[in-house]
């Protein structure tokens, strides 16, 4: 079987972006379903996760095929190797989105919920992060990647605030324990989504500059 | 690849000189042979002379000695002369001495030895009867000097005559020839080198100029080439200038057209994206960025030459583009983008013929989409609202017709219910008509200067009976007794009647409905506060929608049509005012706040008040 390297890499890019679009849309739907308590949307998010899973397998196969048949070098090698990691991150993001959707379905009958604006803010920031991190990766845009990495600390701060809000809310009435826990779980999932987006950005910087910025404290 | 410069300057003179040298060498060889032949013929005639002399002398029977001494005078130019018989007997042999005298040397060498001399052997056996050899040897007297001599022998019927002369006698012509030829070759080569240098400059320079000119095409479009003195090159330059002008024209035309197209695309209200045959971005307008939420910074501001899937981050839209590219069919689809705020895009996908690319028109139709949805739900709601009273009326009437054993009281009760539902239908129709009027004919109602306090007091009066029956206190907190504004009395009455009526309806016995009015800075604020059940926060945005009900059962029971607040909202906006709803700041309940503009300047109003006060 004869394949052309650039064609295969374009295909890889396209599939990764499709995955990214799907998880980004899932996060959008999750925010909406959280705001409107719309379990139909939440169920759609859980269903859509299977698309992301299928795409993950496709990306894995494509990467291995390129490795086996084309022995890419230099930037191509970095791209294909990074794609494997980005693929994994995206799949995890998809999983977290469907986990949030499950929590929302669990919350659908509860009326006594806390006002957690942090959650919506977190969701909006992470959605933006997921969108931008993949674009930074594809375009090799280091500036954008660094911006997204900075946004992750915002998400972390919002998560801390969320915990501070949920604490007193649960204290008032021990019946609220489960709802509070669900909200914290949603927050935690969003925070983890932010972390994965940050990982993708680190891969983007590695791809563009060949420099490993992981596990550094200066950003 | 060879350079014409190099060929002209080096290769051409080299090859030419080589050919010249070769042909001259051939010529020289020929001349040398010819000279030798001449020399040989010359020497033959000398020997012929000696032969004739000797044979005549010998025939005369003269003495050997005598012949020798006579020959001496005759043969001065020659070094050696030897005369032999065919068998090798020496008749005569002389050798020139250093002092120039000839010496008889017949005894020095045996006759048979002479026969082995090269020239004699050749003369003996050759059919040409002649032979020659060139002899190199050391001089006897001066060993350092090399002696070279040319030996010639000729055979006659009875004897052989050999003559030796110094060798230099022959090559001195050759040396002269050699020098002449060498000079000739050098001259020709020099001329060639110089002329080719000139030729090369004349041809190569303009060609180099043409190359430079072609390399920089912008230059090419700006200025003409100077013509060279060589005709062919000048023709080439002329043709190039002509082409450049043509290209310039075409470029101008194309850029003009491109500009036109870009202007059109930039000024189209929709977002436009044009993809080339590889589905890469070719042209677009700014609307695209906001509509598809593209962050231009990611692409360093330019999205040209990117694949569509790199910039469009929506799978539904990308699938549509792909499908359209494959099937080459036009598609129009509505694509909704979920997020904190939903957006609905109408996408027109037009593939260009021959797979030359694709044009996408994208429009934000969120607002239209919402309106269509509202209309749809309005029709659904309205028909539902109509159906309920009609089915109730139908049910009771059917019972009345079918059952014969109903008491008068029962019949009366049924008919009352029919009447109540008929009233409800009537109300519904009236409300719909009002709403429709408000909706469609904003200019239909006239505005006049009226007293708002008067209107509100009228509403309170009209509703006092209802309030009393529900044991609700209607309290009028209006401090001023006259506030004039420009408005339509009917509409203002609708607004406040509905609001106060609602307040009473949704308050329980023992409640209180308060009306406050305040005027400041050309605006009138009316507050209607109740102590009723209140409206939950999440419903507050939607209560002004048609047929929207917070609590379906309660609203129906109270005889509401679900259109009241919608009508109020329309009437308020007809007056260019605003209506908002919030919690009762003091206790449970709701507070509606209506803000209306006075509609005239304060001065005018004061003047009017003074006028009316008179």
Each residue's pLDDT tens digit, A55-69: 999 999 989 988 898
Instruction: For B314, name the nearest residue in chain A, comparing CA atoms only.
Output: A21
Instruction: For A121, name the nearest residue in chain B, comparing CA atoms only.
Output: B340
Q: Residues of A with CB below 8 A from B313's CB?
A: 17, 20-21, 24, 131, 135
pLDDT score recorded for residue B66: 67
Cβ-count burial B143-164 (b if 16+ within 10 Å, e if not): eeeeeebbbbbbbbeebbbbbb
Distant-in-sequence, close-in-space partners of B527: CB < 8 Å, separation ≥ 6: B514, B515, B516, B517, B518, B591, B592, B593, B594
Nearest by CB to A21, from B299, B307, B314: name it: B314
Mean pLDDT in chain B? Answer: 80
Give the tens place of pLDDT for each residue, B377-419.
888 888 888 888 898 899 988 988 888 887 888 888 888 888 9
What span, in angstroms and rounded, lies between the C-alpha atoms of B143 and B150? 19
Q: Where are the alpha helices (DSSP H) in A140-176?
A: 142-172
Does A28 contact chain B (CB < 8 Å)? yes
Instruction: For A20, name the nearest residue in chain B, comparing CA atoms only.
Output: B313
Q: Give residue B463's pLDDT band: very low, low, confident or very high (50, 70, 90).
A: confident
Measuring CA to CA, how many Å separate B304 from each of A88, A103, A145, B273?
A: 30, 42, 21, 10
Q: Of the spans B123-132, B218-227, B321-330, B593-602, which averages the highest pLDDT?
A: B321-330
* Min Cα–Cα distance to chain B from A122, Å: 12
Is pLDDT at B614 greater than 60 in this prediction?
A: no
Q: Two tokens at B302?
A: 């330019």
pLDDT score recorded for residue B339: 62
Does A141 contact chain B (CB < 8 Å)? yes
Kindly determine whether residue B310 and residue A17, on different chains, have CB atoms separated by under 8 Å: yes
* Min Cα–Cα distance to chain A from B314, Å: 6
Distant-in-sequence, close-in-space partners of B299: CB < 8 Å, separation ≥ 6: A135, A139, A141, B306, B311
ipTM metric: 0.84
pLDDT score recorded for residue A91: 93
Kindly determine whether residue A13 and residue B309, on different chains, have CB atoms separated by under 8 Å: yes
pLDDT score recorded for residue B98: 64
Q: Give residue A96's pLDDT band: very low, low, confident or very high (50, 70, 90).
A: very high
Q: Which residues pair with B138 in a beta bridge?
A: B146
Query: Which residue did the predictor score with more confidence, A197 or B589?
Result: A197
DSSP state of B307: B
pLDDT score recorded for residue B74: 62
For B287, the enclosing helix (H) or strand (E) is: helix B287-291
Burial class (CB in 10 A: 0-12, 13-18, 19+), B107: exposed
B63-91: average pLDDT = 70
pLDDT score recorded for residue B214: 77
> If DSSP states are collapsed to H, E and C, what string results for B408-460?
HHHHHHHHHHHHHHHHHHHHHHHHHHHHHHHHHCCCCCCCEEEEHHHHHHHHH
pLDDT score recorded for residue B607: 72
pLDDT score recorded for residue A2: 55
Q: Which residues pair with B346 in a beta bridge?
A: B334, B363
Lowest mean pLDDT among A145-159, B223-237, B381-395: B223-237
Give the tens place of pLDDT for each residue, B346-359.
899 898 888 788 98
Is pLDDT at A192 greater than 90 in this prediction?
A: yes
Q: Two tokens at A119?
A: 């959650």
Kindly determine whether residue A25 and residue B293, on different chains, have CB atoms separated by under 8 Å: no
For B219, the enclosing helix (H) or strand (E) is: helix B217-222
Kindly determine whether residue B313 and residue A135, on different chains, have CB atoms separated by under 8 Å: yes
CA angle A40, A45, A47 (to 5 degrees): 95
pLDDT score recorded for residue B193: 83
Is pLDDT at A196 greater than 90 in this prediction?
A: yes
Kindly determine whether residue A131 and residue B340, on different chains, have CB atoms separated by under 8 Å: no
Q: Two tokens at A196?
A: 């994965």
Lowest mean pLDDT among B77-81, B478-482, B509-513: B77-81
């Amino acid at each position: 079987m004869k394949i052309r390297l650039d064609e295969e890499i374009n295909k890889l890019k396209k599939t990764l972006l499709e995955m990214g679009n799907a998880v980004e849309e899932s996060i959008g739907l999750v925010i909406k379903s959280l705001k409107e308590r719309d379990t139909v949307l939440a169920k759609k998010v859980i269903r859509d996760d299977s698309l992301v899973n299928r795409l993950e397998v496709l990306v894995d196969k494509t990467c291995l095929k390129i490795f086996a048949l084309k022995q890419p070098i230099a930037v191509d090698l970095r791209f294909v190797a990074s794609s494997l990691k980005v693929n994994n991150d995206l799949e995890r993001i998809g999983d977290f989105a469907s986990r949030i959707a499950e929590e929302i379905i669990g919350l659908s009958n509860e009326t006594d919920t806390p006002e957690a604006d942090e959650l919506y803010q977190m969701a909006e920031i992470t959605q933006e992060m997921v969108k931008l991190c993949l674009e930074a990766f594809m375009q090799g845009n280091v500036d954008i990647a660094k911006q997204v990495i900075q946004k992750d600390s915002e998400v972390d701060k919002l998560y801390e605030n969320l915990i501070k809000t949920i604490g007193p809310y649960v204290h008032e009435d021990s019946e609220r324990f489960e709802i509070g826990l669900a909200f914290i779980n949603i927050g935690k999932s969003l925070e983890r989504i932010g972390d994965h987006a940050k990982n993708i950005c680190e891969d983007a910087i590695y791809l563009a500059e060949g420099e490993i910025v992981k596990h550094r404290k200066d950003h | 690849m060879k350079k014409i410069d190099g060929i002209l300057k080096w290769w051409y003179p080299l090859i030419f000189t080589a050919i010249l040298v070769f042909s001259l060498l051939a010529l020289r060889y020929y001349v040398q042979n010819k000279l030798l032949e001449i020399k040989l013929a010359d020497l033959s005639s000398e020997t012929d002379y000696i032969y004739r002399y000797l044979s005549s002398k010998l025939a005369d029977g003269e003495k050997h000695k005598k012949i020798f001494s006579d020959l001496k005078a005759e043969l001065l130019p020659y070094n050696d002369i030897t005369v032999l018989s065919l068998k090798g007997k020496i008749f005569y042999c002389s050798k020139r001495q250093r002092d120039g005298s000839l010496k008889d040397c017949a005894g020095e060498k045996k006759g048979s030895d002479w026969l082995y001399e090269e020239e004699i052997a050749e003369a003996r056996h050759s059919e040409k009867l002649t032979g020659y050899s060139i002899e190199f040897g050391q001089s006897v007297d001066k060993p350092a000097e090399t002696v070279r001599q040319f030996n010639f022998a000729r055979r006659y019927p009875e004897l052989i005559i050999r003559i030796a002369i110094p060798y230099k006698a022959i090559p001195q012509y050759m040396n002269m020839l050699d020098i002449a030829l060498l000079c000739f070759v050098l001259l020709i080569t020099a001329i060639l080198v110089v002329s080719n240098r000139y030729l090369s400059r004349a041809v190569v320079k303009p060609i180099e100029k043409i190359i430079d000119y072609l390399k920089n095409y912008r230059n090419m479009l700006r200025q003409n080439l100077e013509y060279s003195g060589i005709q062919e090159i000048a023709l080439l330059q002329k043709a190039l200038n002509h082409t450049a002008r043509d290209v310039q024209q075409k470029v101008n035309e194309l850029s003009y057209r491109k500009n036109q197209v870009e202007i059109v695309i930039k000024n189209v209200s929709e977002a436009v994206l044009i993809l080339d045959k590889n589905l890469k971005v070719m042209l677009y307008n700014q609307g695209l960025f906001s509509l598809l939420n593209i962050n231009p910074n990611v692409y360093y501001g330019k999205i040209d030459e990117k694949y569509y899937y790199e910039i469009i981050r929506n799978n539904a839209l990308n699938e549509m583009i792909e499908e359209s590219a494959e099937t080459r069919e036009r598609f129009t689809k509505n694509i909704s983008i979920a997020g904190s705020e939903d957006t609905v895009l109408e996408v027109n996908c037009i593939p260009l013929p021959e797979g030359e690319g694709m044009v996408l028109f994208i429009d934000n139709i969120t607002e239209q989409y919402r309106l269509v949805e509202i209309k749809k739900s309005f029709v659904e709601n309205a028909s539902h609202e109509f159906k309920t009273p009609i089915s109730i009326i139908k049910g009771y009437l059917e019972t009345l017709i079918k059952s014969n054993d109903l008491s008068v009281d029962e019949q009366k009760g049924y008919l009352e219910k029919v009447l109540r539902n008929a009233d409800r239908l009537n109300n519904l129709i009236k409300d719909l008509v009002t709403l429709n009027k408000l909706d469609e004919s904003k200019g239909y109602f006239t505005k006049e200067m009226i007293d708002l306090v008067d209107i509100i007091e009228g509403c309170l009066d009209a509703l006092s009976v209802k309030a009393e029956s529900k044991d609700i206190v209607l309290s009028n907190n209006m401090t001023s007794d006259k506030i004039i504004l420009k408005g339509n009395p009917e509409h203002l009455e609708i607004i406040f009647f509905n609001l106060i009526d609602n307040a009473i309806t949704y308050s329980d016995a023992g409640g209180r409905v308060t009306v406050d009015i305040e005027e400041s800075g050309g605006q009138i604020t009316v507050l209607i506060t109740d102590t009723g059940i209140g409206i939950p926060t999440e419903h507050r945005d939607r209560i002004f929608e048609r047929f929207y009900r917070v609590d379906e059962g309660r609203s129906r029971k109270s005889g509401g049509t679900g259109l009241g607040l919608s009508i109020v909202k329309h009437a308020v906006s007809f007056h260019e005012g605003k209506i908002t709803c919030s919690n009762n700041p003091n206790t449970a309940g709701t507070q509606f706040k209506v803000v209306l503009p006075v509609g005239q300047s304060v001065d005018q109003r004061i003047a009017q008040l003074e006028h009316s006060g008179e």
